[in-house]
Amino acid sequence: MKKIYSLIIALIFSAGMVSAQCTNDTSTAFFSPAPDSLPCIDSGMYYNQTLHVYLWDSLNLQTLPPFNAFLDTSFWLHMDSLVIDSITGFPTGITDSFNPPNGHVYPQTHACYSIAGTTNDTTGTYSLHYWGTMSFYTAGYPGFWPAGDTTLSLQFLQSNQRNPFTADLNVVRPGNPCRPTSGINDFNSELNSSMTVYPNPNSGKFDVQINAGRRLNGEIVVIDMSGRAVYTKQLDIVGLYNNSIDLGKCASGLYILQLRTPEGFASKKISIQ
């Protein structure tokens, strides 16, 4: 039964955490960015990273593999709460905080979690450990799952490598790539997950948000379908970055916004209507 619990919870979270100083966003992804894509910490330099969480109210296991292979009817899990009491394992000098401060997240609510500070610890990988509980209710499924309330510890969930409470922070030497690519022309999934464009579609006016935990040097470029650059802005940032862009004079259609850095690039499609 414990293996079944682990698999169910892993699927719940593979599909949004909690700072007295951070501001909640409106994303409906459980974690944003995903904990396994956190920016690295540059040794001796200030680090500032925000994670956002959104707790779904329910999930139908019949829609997810491998359960869809043997569940012949809907099987709903109704979420009650997620409680993060603490997170341990940070390098010396790195601290965390929650919003809301008590670490409680309830269905259809947003929360955020801030990691910040400066460390001079040895470069390498630091495994984070989550302490708390996750609770949900189900009407049950004959022969598979009993009806009623279930509360699982986050420690138990971390035994399954696919769950989102398995996360690492990497400390690297300043200037070294976090997750090396072969050059600026390579797509970088870490950069891509850190960047959000909204609203999209839009009228030509939109905001770009970059959640950069480590120092980020590069540029933002917007390209039309002919390959012509219609907007360029240089960047040298740390932490949460917001920038408003006005392309109201550009024709309607599709555009590509790129974040270009020495470690690779990120890319988002933009629709101007």
Q: Is 120's pLDDT higher than 90?
A: yes
Among the residue ranges 3-12, 41-50, 112-121, 204-213, the one predicted with the least confidence is: 3-12
* CA pair distance 185, 152, nearest whole angstrom: 44
- 3-state DSSP assignment of residue 6: helix
Chain segment 18-27, per-residue pLDDT in tens: 334 677 677 7
Chain segment 122-161, per-residue pLDDT in tens: 998 888 888 888 898 988 887 667 889 988 777 766 655 5
Classify each residue of 154-186 as buried b or exposed e, where b means 16 or more C-beta atoms within 10 Å of its C-beta: bebbbebeebbbbbebbbbeeeeebeebeeeee
pLDDT confidence tier of residue 185, bands split at 50, 70 and 90: low
Q: What's the whole-number average pLDDT of the chain?
A: 80
Q: Model-level pTM?
A: 0.60
Find how far residue 80's CA is from the centre of its chain: 22
Domain 189-272, classified CATH 2.60.40.1930, yes or no:
yes
Residue 94 backbone zone (phi > 0: left; psi -120 to 50: alpha; other: beta)? beta
Domain locations along the chain: 2-172, 189-272
Q: Are 103 and 79 in contact (CB under 8 A)?
A: no
